[in-house]
Each structure stands twice: as structure tokens, then as C-alpha cells.
Amino acid sequence: MTPRTTGPIRLLLADDHPVVRAGLRAVLDTEQDFEVVAEAATAERAVALAATGAFDVVLMDLQFGAGMHGAEATAAITAAADAPRVLILTTYESDADILAAVEAGAGGYLLKDAPPEELAAAVRTAAAGRSALAPAVAHRLMDRMRTPAQALTKRELEVLQLVGEGLSNQQISKRLFLSQATVKSHLVHIYAKLGVDSRTSAVAAATARRLLRR
Amino acid sequence: MTPRTTGPIRLLLADDHPVVRAGLRAVLDTEQDFEVVAEAATAERAVALAATGAFDVVLMDLQFGAGMHGAEATAAITAAADAPRVLILTTYESDADILAAVEAGAGGYLLKDAPPEELAAAVRTAAAGRSALAPAVAHRLMDRMRTPAQALTKRELEVLQLVGEGLSNQQISKRLFLSQATVKSHLVHIYAKLGVDSRTSAVAAATARRLLRR
DNA sequence: GCGGACATCAACCTTTCGGTTGACCGGTCG
DNA sequence: CGACCGGTCAACCGAAAGGTTGATGTCCGC
């Protein structure tokens, strides 16, 4: 969507929690230059509404109780020409989630524990066509850049994700069309980077460091 | 706290998310018989405020970003004589969380995706001294009663929790003052009940079925 | 008081996993 | 070009985990 130079910033709230929607509305509607135009309780509904072109910024949750995931919805929305900006607003800050959201074309990534002023500032930043990252998220990305040594590669995250789903090396090798030797090789690297020595503790450490979605 | 027969139901909101607090306030303040007296952004603050005796019902989140856990806070609050009722209001419905909350003396367990009417009804129920359970939570408890065959025992959950934290059988046996044989014995029973055949898949299955906190 | 569920432990065996060493190939970046 | 990294694979060995059988003790309910 082309940034409009006049009128309030028109918002769409997409979250499956009524309480959160009410909270966002309460926090954002008090800003004079914002107008909460609509709410969506599902990702599918958000995609449909966003296509009407009646919004400048979409505030999108990642986890919906059922149905489409927020990242999918973001991709669907931003795929359109003249699409609104999508701001991710979620509770979690996992590497997997952040990377998925950025790949889907999100214009920002905020955390739900953010203070209202930070929220408002991020919405204005996104509306102006610039990227808005929560400090904690920005910090995580900086960390990832600063110390790539301990950052897991995409392939390693892929393997670790399957480990977290309970698959054996054998099953992972079949799923990813690899030999068991390769899976073990990846695991050895993962253990070294996370400072652990077993698959279960790797999953625990990765979950604690928010490297894996959960 | 002795249920008062006159005046509005006085509420304390304990949640680390400003947006959620604003949402709860927006949803609950519209009810004529409710009065949101105060908010707490940490569990510690909630305990301190609850001790003043100025509240009838505390709406308590379980997961705070840092510091005390909601279940601990609930135990601290309900330990006092003349304590207010504590209603758990959280995103998750794991067996571990529910059992911990009930043991801590919670007067109810609600989910954040509940519609406003359900929330209000639960608060009134709690204020009247009765127990309030979200339908999904009630359903889970019923399931647990109906099919005790697949329900994990307390000890089994304890072991599985440690497995989920990445501990080896050796480490678990030391932590719980058991022999490795006993730990393995518990694990065999856990695998049978969950229909899996490895520790990682047991953790995955238990997480998916919300038997474990995450 | 007897059966049953729960918890505890031992001995034994098989399979998987963890750890190492070494190797090959395709990009990328000085 | 040569060094480096990421991804792939093989062979090997010891350690941990998975699986079975069987046994003991406690507590609870019928």
C-alpha cells in the first residue's frame, strides 16, 4: 500500500485473543494519528481484510489457535501489489520465528510485553515504510551477526527442529534425504555450538535460547 | 478475603504485558459490578499488593518475563488468612501448569483466548467463592479422570519434566535419589502411555498434549 | 486381607546415540 | 588461485538408552 500523506494511519489488528485485541485498541486508539479500522480473530480473516486495501498497517500475531500461521498470512498479504505494511506482534522471539517472519516480508517485529509508547513508535515507523524491530529482537539479530560462530546454520536448525519433534537420526535422514552419517555430523556441530552433549539437552538449550519455535 | 456482600468486586490484574493489562481493564471495567483497583507487572508486586486486603479477586498470569512464577505467587497470596481469590489467566493449558496452580490454591483457571463474557462470568463465580474453570481446562481434567490409563502419574511427570530439561538417566537418578533402573522403569511406562519409543519423542508428545510446561 | 496401582531396584541384552577421524565437493571471499 | 566454510558421507568404537523379566514394598479400596 502506498503510504498516504494525509489522514490517520489505518490499522488492522489480527490476533486470536479478544483480550489482546481490546488491549491494543485501548492503547492505540488514544493516539490521535491512529485509527483502528478493523479486527481479525484468524489469520485467514486478516488476509481477506488486508486485500480490501483499507489499511496502512497490519498488526499480526504469529500463533493463532488454529488454522493459518501468522507468517503464512504475512506472506500472503505482502505478496499483493500495493500491500499494507505488516508488523509482527508476538510473545516469542525465537530465531526460527524471526527468520520466518522476515522471509515472509514483515516490516517489523515487536514483542507483546512492549510498553505502549514503543508500540506506537513502531507503528509510525512501519507506516513510514521503514523497518521496526523491538530492542530485544534487534539485540538478538545483532548477536547473531556478531558471533556467527555459535549461530546455528539453516541446515542445523532444520535438523534440530526434527530432533525436537522426536525423530531419530534414522528418521531424520530419510526425511531430509541424507545419510545417518550426515545427520550425526550436523548433530555434533550443534552440540558444540550449544555446549551440550545429547539430543535432549540440545533441544532444551535451543528452546531456552529461543532458537526453536515451540 | 471474606466475600463482601455489597459494593463492586474489586480486582487486581497481574500480568507482565501492558497490552494484556489494558485489554483486561477495557473488557472488565465495562461491567458495572467490577472495579479494577490496581495492576501489577510482576508476580512479586502482585503478592505485595494482594496482602493489603484491598481486593476480592486477583487475575494472575502464570508466566512472567522474569522473577517469581505465577504459581508461586498464587501460593504466597492464598497462604494468608482472609486472602483474595486467585484466578489463573494464562495462554497455556498444560497438565503440569494446571496441577501446579490448583495445588497453589487457585480458585480458577482461565485461558486468554476466552471471550469477554466468559471472563466476566468466571470472575463473578470466583468472587462468590466457587471454582471457575475454562471449558477447555475442564475438558482436560475430565479426560484425565475418564481415561486414567494414559494419564501420567506425578512421579512420571516429574521424570519426564527432567528429561525435557535435557538430563540423562544418570543425572535424573541423582536428582531424584533413585537408581537408574527406576528411572528407566518410569520411562518405559511413560513411553507406553504416550505411544512413543524414545525420550525425545516422549517430550515432543507430552509437549504437544500439553502435559509439560514449556 | 487380598488385589491392584505405584514406586523401587537388579540383571541382561540389543539398538541407538555420541565422538572421532578423515574424506570429498561446491561456493565465496580475499 | 588458495583458503575457508558449509554440507555431504564412511568406518569405527565406547557409552547411553531402549526393552524384558522379575522381584520387593507400600498404600488404598473392596
Q: Write the pLDDT tens digit of every residue in B94-134.
A: 666 777 777 778 888 888 888 888 899 999 988 888 877 77
For the segment A3-23, the average pLDDT, to the nearest whole number, is 85
Mean pLDDT is lowest, of B42-56, B117-131, B137-151, B180-194, for B137-151
Q: DSSP letters of A109-150? A: EEETT--HHHHHHHHHHHHTT--EE-HHHHHHHHHHHH-TTT
For the segment A109-135, the average pLDDT, to the nearest whole number, is 85
From residue A163, give the alpha-carbon distance in Å to each of A129, A207, B192, B211, B212: 39, 12, 20, 19, 17
**Which bases of chain C are contacted by protein, using any atom under 7 A from a CB?**
6-11, 16-23
pLDDT in tens, B72-103: 899 899 888 888 999 988 887 666 677 777 77
Interface test with B, best of A19, A111, A118, A197 (most B CBs within 10 A): A19
Taking all residues of chain B, what is their mean pLDDT, rounded to a whole number?
83
Q: Could you give the CA distance from residue B188 to residue B173 in angstroms, rounded to a whole number? A: 15
Residue B137: its pLDDT value, please? 63
Cell of A23: 488491549
| Amino acid whose CA is nearest the C1' of C8 | B182
> Residues A61, A15: contact at Cβ < 8 Å?
yes
pLDDT in tens, A59-73: 999 888 778 888 889
| pLDDT grade for A210, boundaries at 50, 70 and 90 | confident
For the segment B171-177, the average pLDDT, to the nearest whole number, is 88
A182 CB neighbours strand D below 7 A: yes
For the segment B132-152, the average pLDDT, to the nearest whole number, is 59
> What residues contact residue A208 under an 8 Å CB cut-off, 6+ apart?
none
pLDDT in tens, A127-162: 888 877 776 666 655 554 444 446 788 888 888 989
| Amino acid whose CA is nearest the C1' of D8 | A182
Whether residues A27 and B21 touch (CB distance < 8 A) is answered with: no
pLDDT in tens, B27-46: 999 988 999 999 999 999 99
Distance measured from the CA of protein residue A206 to the C1' of nucleotide C23, in angstroms: 30
B198 CB neighbours strand D below 7 A: yes
Residue B5: its pLDDT value, please? 57
Residue A129: its pLDDT value, please? 82
Residue B97 CB neighbour total at 10 angstroms: 25
Whether residues B26 and A24 touch (CB distance < 8 A) is answered with: no
Q: For chains A and B, count residue pairs whose Cβ atoms are closer than 8 Å.
A: 108
Q: Is residue A96's pLDDT more than 70?
A: no
Instruction: State pTM to two decimals.
Output: 0.70
Residue A10: its pLDDT value, please? 93
Residue with the bigger pLDDT between A75 and B101: it is: A75
B30 CB neighbours strand D below 7 A: no
Identify which of A45, A203, A30, A40 has the alpha carbon closest to the alpha carbon of residue A120.
A30
pLDDT in tens, A153-206: 888 888 898 999 989 998 899 888 888 889 998 898 888 888 888 899 889 888
B182 CB neighbours strand D below 7 A: no
Taking all residues of chain A, what is their mean pLDDT, rounded to a whole number?
83
